[in-house]
């Protein structure tokens, strides 16, 4: 799996209100939340970006009052998955 690396100038990092020891994980979390909020990343991709479990990411969305993005297509996929699970496939 490839990854994207980009540089943030030190003068910007030094103004961030994030402890240095948590900087990388907190920046990933903020990026994931914003990309999810804007509909750029799915729930699954956003939670993986910030390294949280499904439950942890749900709680984080709740803390930040970010609405879940769940549409008819998601609902229909869930119904299909439920049918598969119930039939043992």
Q: How far is CA 37 from the centre of its chain?
A: 9
pLDDT at res. 86: 86
87 phi-psi bin (left φ>0, alpha ψ -120 to 50, beta other): alpha
pLDDT at res. 46: 94
State the residue for tokens 């009052």: 65
> 60 pLDDT exceeds 90?
yes
Instruction: Find the helix or strand (DSSP H, E) in which 52 lies.
Output: none
* pLDDT band of 89, cuts 50, 70, 90: low
Q: So where are the chain's domains?
A: 10-87
Within 10 Å of residue 57's Cβ, how many Cβ atoms?
A: 22
Query: What is the rounded CA–CA span in Å between residue 67 and residue 37?
Result: 8
pLDDT single digits (tens) 19-41: 888 888 999 999 999 999 999 99
Give percent above pLDDT 90 in the chain: 43
The single-letter DSSP state of residue 30 is: H
């Amino acid at each position: 799996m490839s990854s994207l690396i980009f540089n943030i100038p030190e003068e910007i990092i030094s103004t961030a209100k994030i402890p240095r020891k948590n900087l990388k994980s907190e920046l990933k979390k903020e990026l994931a939340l914003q990309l999810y909020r804007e509909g750029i990343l799915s729930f699954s991709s956003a939670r993986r970006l910030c390294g949280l479990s499904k439950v942890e990411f749900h709680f984080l969305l709740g803390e930040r009052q970010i609405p879940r993005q769940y549409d008819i297509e998601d609902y229909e996929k869930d119904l299909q998955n439920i049918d598969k699970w119930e039939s043992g496939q």
